[in-house]
Amino acid sequence: MHSVGPSVVDPRSGEIIEADIIWWHNVMTSLHDWMRIQTGPIDPKARGNKFSDEHMGEAIRFVSSHEVGHTFGLKHNMGASFAFPVESLRSKEFTDKMGGTAPSIMDYARYNYVAQPEDG
């Protein structure tokens, strides 16, 4: 665990009274390592020891958005991983059109493990 988005909810009304995003000291290192290991074979931007600010920013936005979802009371949605057919995940056109590998920011499917180098 490297970040969380807990909230306090009034049980009578469901109103979110207070919420935080807690970001541990090692999140940047973990994001770098995850991207390098999980996407390096297909993504040349993820092969170096230092990523561009744009590439790291993309990962930070994903994790931050996910944690904001928790502050709104959203739970994980791992079922979203099954929304797209596997063969579609090999299509760059499809994943660009759909905005990624899963239709929910609350899923952990951050990276496309299905795409192969020959897919383009």
DSSP result, 41-82: TT-GGGSSSS--HHHHHHHHHHHHHHHHHHHTTPPP-GGGGG
Residue 81 is part of which domain span? Answer: 77-120
Last residue of a domain, one of 58, 74, 90: 74
Same-domain pairing of 38 and 87: no
pLDDT at site 100? 84
Same-domain pairing of 66 and 16: yes
Averaged pLDDT, 60-68: 92
Question: Tokens for 45?
Answer: 């931007």
66 vs 2: which has the higher pLDDT: 66
Same-domain pairing of 95 and 59: no
Q: Convert the pLDDT of each residue in 68-112 to its tens digit.
A: 999 998 999 988 888 999 899 989 899 889 988 889 999 988 788
Residue 7 pLDDT greater than 70, yes or no: yes
Averaged pLDDT, 9-32: 92
Same-domain pairing of 2 and 49: yes
Same-domain pairing of 69 and 94: no
This prediction has a pTM of 0.80
- Classify residue 25 by burial, with Cβ atoms within 10 Å: 0-12, 13-18, 19+: exposed
Number of domains in the chain: 2
